[in-house]
Structure 1
Amino acid sequence: MKAIIGLGNPGREYERTRHNVGFMVLDRLAQNWEINNYSSKFQGAFAEKFVGTEKVILLKPQTYMNLSGQAVASLASFYKLEPQDLLVVYDDLDLAVGRIRIRARGSSGGHNGIKSIIGHLGSEFFPRLKMGIGRPPVGRSAASYVLEPFAKDEEEGLDAMTEQACEAIELWLLKGTTEAMNRFNAKS
């Protein structure tokens, strides 16, 4: 069993913001896999599907970004999932819009959602898929920038990046982290 966790903030006001790119990827994946709705479980929006013979869980924590670890730990505990069975999808300021990067593990890099997950799991050894949102313009704080929607001229890059992330997730499920890193980190 594997779980794919997309990070974001609940509520209409956050729907298309940079911080919610993890939710956007899970929604695209659900659409591609013909999952029509989420239920409410593990402090999040929850869905499941068999991909081949493997049960795959989609989770969008509804705890707000900074408390994402609560939902992830609840899910992992219930299903007895190891950290390496989780793939966390989230925004990254250090990547340009349109770029993705897969990592097998790592620190939070200052991302509060990842910091919360590491704290609740007691491990940083979980795969993650970083989605590029770019750096804020000079003079604008990162905290306000991540809560802004993508600019119109970024929409095409966002759409391509979201679809590429879905392809990377499917490869991760079939072939694992190293294979996904080799293919998509070089490509992006």
Structure 2
Amino acid sequence: MKCIVGLGNPGVKYESTRHNIGFMVIDELVTRNNFQLNKDKFKGKYAIETINGEKILLLKPQTYMNLSGESLRPLMDYFNIDLEDVLIIYDDLDLPPGKIRLRQKGGHGGHNGIRSIIDHLGTKDFKRIRIGIGRPTNSQPVVDYVLGTFPDDQQSMVQESVEKAADACVRWLETPFEEVMNEFNNKE
């Protein structure tokens, strides 16, 4: 079983914020396939479904971003999910809005959700899709920026990046991740 994890913060207050773009990708997959995140355990909301004959677990940790690993680790242990079958989706300040980047491993880059996952998994070697949110252009603190919403003029490119990330997830279900990486990292 493959596990696709979208990072974000729970609650209506954070729903459309930059930091919740990982949740948005899970929502896109749920909507496309008429699924429901109807299980509530392991400090997360999840569903176990099938796409193209591949059994998948879709997870939205409900721990708040900085504690994401507290949801993922016990869930992986319970369902005996191998690290190679996990894909994490999250926001990235260093990519412009609309861009996505797939990687097979890496550091946390200052992202506290990824830091928590690295701490709980004991490794940096997990697949990820980073989705660009850009950096603040004024003196706005980063915390306020990531917890803010996308401006109207970025909405269509953000939606496009969410759809591209969801496409990459589905592609990974039937194609080695390295090939998916080459395909989507070269799409511009």
| Normalised TM-score (structure 2) | 0.97
Structure 2 equivalent of residue 158 of structure 1: 158
Q: Does 1:39 align with 2:76?
A: no
Does the Cα contact within 8 Å between 2:36 and 2:47 map onto a contact in 1? Answer: no
Q: Distance in 2 between matches of 1:54 and 1:24?
A: 21
Paired with 1:91 and 1:82, the residues of 2 have a C-alpha distance of: 24
- The SS at the match of 2:4 is strand
* Residue identity in the other structure for 1:40: D
Q: Is the 8 A contact 2:63 2:70 kept in 1?
A: yes
Write the letter of the residue equivalent to 2:160.
Answer: A
1:176, distance to aligned residue in structure 2 (A): 2.2
Answering whether residue 103 of structure 2 is matched by residue 103 of structure 1, we say yes
State which drifts further: 169-178 or 35-44.
Answer: 35-44
Q: Which residues of structure 2 form unaligned runs of 5+? A: none
1:8 counterpart residue number: 8
Corresponding residue number in structure 2 for 1:170: 170
- The answer for unaligned runs of 5 or more in structure 1 is none
Q: Distance in 1 between matches of 2:19 and 2:115?
A: 15
What's the CA shift string for 1:32-72, capped at 9, x where partnerless?
A: 11103432121101111112332100000000000000101
Considering only aligned residues, what root-mean-square deviation do their CA atoms show, in Å?
1.0
Letter in 2 for 1:82: D
CA distance, structure 2, for counterparts of residue 87 and residue 107 of structure 1:
15
Identity of aligned residues (%): 47
Distance 1:93 1:149 in 2: 14
CA distance in 2, matches of 1:42, 1:118: 17
Structure 1 window deviating more from structure 2 (63-72 vs 38-47): it is: 38-47
1:139 matches 2:139? yes
